[in-house]
Amino acid sequence: MLGSTHGTLTTDFRARVEACGETPRTAVHSTAAPSDGDAAELDVSGRPLHSDVPDLDRFFRPESVAVIGASDADGRPNTGITRQLIAWAGRVGARIHPVHPTRATVFGLPCHASVADLPEEVDLAVLLVSDPVPVIEQLADTKVKFAVAFASGFAETGEAGAAAQARLSAAVRRSGLRLLGPNTNLNAFEEFREDLEGPAIALITQSGHQGRPVYTLQELGIRLSHWAPTGNEADLETSDFISYFAEQPEVGAIACYVEGLKDGRQFLLAADRAARNGVPVVAVKVGRTETGARTAASHTGKLTGADTVVDAAMRQFGVIRVDGLDELQDTAALLARARAPRADGVVVYSISGGTGAHFSDLATEAGLTLPTLSEAKQRELHQWIPDYLGVANPVDNGGHPVGDWRGRKIIDAILADPSVGVLICPITGPFPPMSDRLAQDLVDAAEQTDKLVCVIWGSPIGTEEAYRTTLLGSSRVATFRTFGNCITAVRAYLGHHRFTASYRSPFDDAPRTPSPSFRKAQALMRPGQQLSEHAAKQLLRAYGIRVPREQLVTSAAAAVRAAGLVGYPVVMKASGPQLGHKTELGLVKIGLTSASQIRDAYRELTDIARYENIPLDGVLVCQMVERGVEMVVGVTQDDLFGPTVTVGLGGVLVEVLHDAAVRVPPFGEDQARHMLTELRGHPLLEGVRGAPPADVDALVEVILRVQRMALELGDVLSELDINPLMVLPRGQGAVALDALAACR
């Protein structure tokens, strides 16, 4: 039995982390966003730890606007745009200055021949020109704060367009202004209803039309405060607007339609700012079916595609990812308006046993908690509901009372239960007067409680008075049209509040300076090459990751001596810089128990290597470790986010099982543990079929040390694969039995 190399994740763990050069985590919970004065601070990988929040007040509420290329000529596209901008400027109280070289006036307003002729410094310049670069250059001396470019024909059109967009980005950087677009539209200048109250949704879309369903929520009484159509994001990007909206007191939720992220780290910093402030971010991110094109020698490289990493990064920082625009609008609306839950329990209240059972199945399958109501609560409900109907949860009333006060009593009694945080009433179709009275009782009860009341109005018509007036007229009832959207939104609502209640920004604790391990590791790296297993294990040792007792030998006689020192039984493996998966080539021999077996194995391994023309640096004679759970832990490089850490079930079936979880550094111990619970094979770590529980603490420690490697060596380490990492029974540690490392 192998001895333990670690104790608990308290004193001993902190000591070893400090020895590796890391600062131990503290129990302080930081919720305040960093000041912008810290924006230049970098982590050990050279990536920023904070980002500036762009001051977009003068973009959304400018005092003066220049419209360059303004027109009032009949039949011209610019005419309609100019008219809309004039109307918008009137609503926000901005002075508007048309600019056109041949016009004296536009829609009765004095028109200026050029940017140089503007009568004042303007906050916002709207560019109605096909080539915005010359105008950007002209604006450089005017101290304009923001510009919008509608023109298309840039990165969305291919290589030539991408080159044109690069020139535009360079011109913007030289000018000092901030640009929205190109290839954007007028959504930022829409008319928003001013008569709606309560927290608002701020909307970000890369494709303007995709935001229409959220924009029309205003017709259902949901307030919108901003719309940022980011287009090609030559300068201002989705992350800038998330950071800004997260600081606005009127914003209750941020809804995003994202086609591509411009900068992975900036997106995470923006999501971090929203999480610190408790502002939910709900996003549709297209690209789920995109194949992550990557050439990877390691198992972990084959376990993660581009969208897998995006999905993990969003979840890691609390971004709620949904699939459809209908889910986007319903989830954002609920999160913007609902108060924090008092409990996680969901009760289903229905006028049909079949409806209640159907919805409860779907809700439970989705992970919602439907607590069984206490015997006392069930007796209370049976005062008003016949005894033959089930009221344990779901609550079947057999038909909501119409002629008296009992219906409201039932609802109030359910909401009074301390285990209940959410009441959901699915009404599959209108059934007046019962459904009318039920809707009114639900609205009245919602007005008197701080718990969430949800109604699903299943009628395909949607013109019924109970729906249009009673339910939609209440700001305290969340109304949905489908079971699925209700479940998605409620799950997101409960999950968001659980996440933010315990959120601690990983950027606060990210290492700033290299550890002593980094200096040891530098000497082992070979640019552009893959390390041998022996060298890869030395790299692991440098970071305090345990490996078996082993010796590298270059003769059969030396192998026999090494086996005696290591201790029988042993494993023998060929070791060379070009070797990846040795098992397939027959370059691994296990369970060797005698000197004769050692000599035979040495000859066979070296013969195979010669036949396959594989150069070796020797043969490894290794301690044999059998008892444990085989895991894989590794590092891969993502084009958007940089180094990522993967953990999954390991061994020879790793790519068949494809059971892995991914995180983007930096992350803390809590996220490392969450990675394990995401695995379908997680029960193996808890012990199955009489096997003892595995040393999960040791596994978590390895994940965190691998993360440190990813941060410190990210620029020179393209891939790392520890497979298998044998996680021994609790208290006995974890041992890296094999390792592959490739250098950039």
Q: Map tokens 């070893």 to a residue.
A: 16
Question: Tell me, what's the pLDDT at 652?
Answer: 65
* Strand arrangement of the beta sheet that strand 124-127 belongs to: 95-99, 64-68, 124-127, 146-149, 178-180
Identify whether 134 is preceded by a cis peptide bond (ω within 30 of 0): no
Are 428 and 458 in contact, with CB atoms under 8 Å apart?
yes
Q: Which residue has the higher pLDDT, 531 or 292?
A: 531
Query: CB neighbours (10 Å) of residue 695?
Result: 23
Question: Tell me, what's the pLDDT at 654?
Answer: 65
Q: What is the mean pLDDT of residues 584-610?
A: 94
Torsion of CA 261, 263, 264, 265, to 10 degrees: -150
Are 45 and 641 in contact, with CB atoms under 8 Å apart?
no
Question: Tell me, what's the pLDDT at 221?
Answer: 92
pLDDT band of 40, cuts 50, 70, 90: low
Could you read off the pLDDT of 89-118 as tens digits, one per residue?
A: 999 999 999 999 999 999 999 999 999 999
CA 484 to chain CA mean position, Å: 21
Task: State how far the Cα of 602 lies from the Cα of 584, in Å rounded to an integer.
Answer: 17
pLDDT > 70: percent of the chain: 91
Q: What is the mean pLDDT of residues 472-476?
A: 93
- pLDDT at 399 > cutoff 60: yes
Pairing of strands 345-350, 395-396: parallel
pLDDT band of 28, cuts 50, 70, 90: very low
**Cα angle at 491 between 487 and 492, to 5 degrees?**
120
- pLDDT at 75 > cutoff 70: yes
Task: State how far the Cα of 376 lies from the Cα of 386, in Å rounded to an integer.
Answer: 16
Question: Tell me, what's the pLDDT at 299?
Answer: 36
What element of type H or E holds 623? strand 618-623
Question: Tell me, what's the pLDDT at 653?
Answer: 61
DSSP E strands: which ranges in 357-460?
Answer: 395-396, 420-427, 452-457
- pLDDT at 737 > cutoff 90: yes
DSSP E strands: which ranges in 465-575?
Answer: 477-480, 530-531, 550-553, 570-575
Are 145 and 56 in contact, with CB atoms under 8 Å apart?
no
Non-local (6+) Cβ contacts of 171 within 8 A are 133, 136, 137
Task: State how far the Cα of 716 lies from the Cα of 197, in Å rounded to an integer.
Answer: 53
Task: State how far the Cα of 228 lies from the Cα of 255, in Å rounded to an integer.
Answer: 10
pLDDT band of 690, cuts 50, 70, 90: confident
Directed axis angle between helix 483-501 and helix 353-365, to 10°? 40
Task: State how far the Cα of 80 lies from the Cα of 72, in Å rounded to an integer.
Answer: 8
Could you read off the pLDDT of 369-389 as tens digits, one per residue?
A: 999 999 999 999 999 999 999
- Residue 120: strand, helix, or coil: coil
Query: CB neighbours (10 Å) of residue 81?
Result: 20
pLDDT band of 260, cuts 50, 70, 90: confident
**One-letter amino acid identity for 371?**
P
Among 188, 63, 60, smallest CA distance to 123 is for: 63
Query: CB neighbours (10 Å) of residue 613?
Result: 7
- pLDDT at 553 > cutoff 90: yes
Query: CB neighbours (10 Å) of residue 600?
Result: 15
- pLDDT at 300 > cutoff 50: no
Could you read off the pLDDT of 475-511 as tens digits, one per residue?
A: 999 999 999 999 999 999 999 999 999 999 999 999 9
Question: What tokens does 225 get?
Answer: 């405060």
Q: Which of 9-18, 272-281, 304-313, 632-641 has the highest mean pLDDT?
A: 272-281
Could you read off the pLDDT of 563-589 as tens digits, one per residue?
A: 999 999 999 999 998 787 788 788 999
Which residues are paired to 321 by β-bridges? 283
Phi and psi, residue 631, nearest 5°: -125, 165
CA 461 to chain CA mean position, Å: 36
- pLDDT at 35 > cutoff 50: no
- pLDDT at 655 > cutoff 90: no
Non-local (6+) Cβ contacts of 237 within 8 A are 230, 262, 263, 266
Phi and psi, residue 300, nearest 5°: -65, -30
Q: Average pLDDT over the chain, rounded to whole?
A: 90
The DSSP result for 277-290, as a single string, is: TT--EEEEE--TT-
Q: Which residue has the higher pLDDT, 4 or 241?
A: 241
CA 591 to chain CA mean position, Å: 44
Task: State how far the Cα of 466 lies from the Cα of 456, in Å rounded to an integer.
Answer: 12
What element of type H or E holds 99? strand 95-99
Task: State how far the Cα of 568 lies from the Cα of 558, in Å rounded to an integer.
Answer: 15
Query: CB neighbours (10 Å) of residue 175?
Result: 21
- pLDDT at 234 > cutoff 50: yes
- CA dihedral sign, ordered 130, 134, 138, 144: positive
Are 275 and 505 in contact, with CB atoms under 8 Å apart?
yes
Task: State how far the Cα of 104 lies from the Cα of 96, in Å rounded to an integer.
Answer: 15
pLDDT > 90: percent of the chain: 82
Global pTM value? 0.90
- pLDDT at 13 > cutoff 80: no
Between the alpha carbon of residue 616 and those of residues 555, 556, 591, the distances in Å are 12, 14, 22
pLDDT band of 288, cuts 50, 70, 90: confident
From the number of C-beta atoms within 10 Å of its C-beta (0-12, 13-18, 19+), residue 677 rates as exposed
Q: What is the mean pLDDT of residues 604-611?
A: 93
Question: What tokens does 163 get?
Answer: 């080159």
Question: What tokens does 297 get?
Answer: 């020698």
Question: Tell me, what's the pLDDT at 656?
Answer: 67
